[in-house]
Amino acid sequence: MNINASKDGDTNRATINNVDLHHLRSAVAAADCGSFRRAAELLSVRHSALSRSIKHFEQSIGMMLFERSSSGVRLTPAGRNVLRAARTILEQIDALMKTRTSSGGCEPEYLRVGFCTSMSAGNLRATLLDFKRRFPAIELVTAERSKTRLTTALRNGSLDLLFLTGEVPLPGNHVWPLWSERVLISLPQDHPMAARDSIYWTDLRNEKVLLSQHDPGPELEDLLTSKLVCADRPRIERHDVSRGIIKSLISMGLGISLVMESETGATFPGLVYRELRDGTGASRIGLSAHWRPDNESPALQSLLTLLGERYPAPTSRE
């Protein structure tokens, strides 16, 4: 990929030459790893080669992507915008390569599924296990990302179908409401509330609730704010870490968190789960499937058929 720009009249434009895919992959790896050295190890290249690649990228686009320090690297505000576009480009290239590979008659057929919830237990795990049992020839490729990145990947064709919390349709896509899951609280095993079987929303008023910025979306926080008046709401802290890191923080006694029922299949030392209730019973959040109407993949149609059999009508779902 080569990108070129030139001066036009009195307007000075940045000149971008010879920006290749390996520059994008180097920058994305560095952003994910937080270190040039660890990114080089991940990509199996020399540290100096990766550093030169990123420097060339920065010089080509005329901006600094990373703040360097002895502890590692961190994206600049401009770098975050560039890396967002770089990830989209790489996802499109990967989708193109997969399409080319799967077009051959002797190659396996792929189904690419994205989600931002857990597969450790529950209906998503059971559904995908059933799919693999019934369609063993189809290669199932899964991707766990933030809802924003998932919707971008669906839009550009990198993914075939998304499992997301909520039932609001994505613009231009089909949506199929599926099941709902109970909302639970995760807390340290020595927390006073851990001795109870059920916990009410009003019991959270003096707690600190830790939530991941990445997933499963705003639904958990929206539910929390809808259940309590402003004066009773706990302090909410959003952390730029995965659900696993949130669990580590909870087990260290740094707060509590809200989780979906499907996460209970993954045990974590020092952490317990309890059901959250209000006056009408357990609180629940729905999940739904989203896909593009122009996607004619036979593998996708097979999964949609299975979903229609397992979850045929909203009145029959729990």
CATH number at residue 52: 1.10.10.10
Residues 74, 149 within the same domain: no
- The pTM score is 0.63
Residues 158, 63 within the same domain: no
- Give residue-wise pLDDT tens across range 154-164: 888 889 999 98
- Give residue-wise pLDDT tens across range 243-292: 778 888 998 889 999 888 888 877 778 899 999 998 888 888 889 999 99
Instruction: Cis check for the bond before 216: say yes or no (omega within 30 of 0).
Output: yes
Residues 137, 195 within the same domain: no
Residues 295, 276 within the same domain: no
Q: What are the strands, taking DSSP E only, across 10-108?
A: 66-69, 72-75
- Give residue-wise pLDDT tens across range 33-81: 888 988 888 888 888 888 999 998 888 888 899 999 888 898 999 998 8
Residues 256, 136 within the same domain: no
Angle at 176 between CA 170 and CA 182, to 5 degrees: 100
Q: How many CB atoms lie within 10 A of CB 274?
A: 19
pLDDT at 22: 84
- For position 248, which CATH number holds? 3.40.190.10
* In a domain? residue 9: no
Residues 294, 236 within the same domain: no
* In a domain? residue 1: no
Number of structural domains in the chain? 3
User: Tokens 């929390």 identify what position?
Assistant: 224
- Print the domain residue range for 253: 180-285
Residues 204, 162 within the same domain: no
Sign of CA pseudo-dihedral 48, 30, 85, 1: positive
Residues 153, 197 within the same domain: no
CA quadruple 139, 131, 244, 41: dihedral, nearest 10: -10
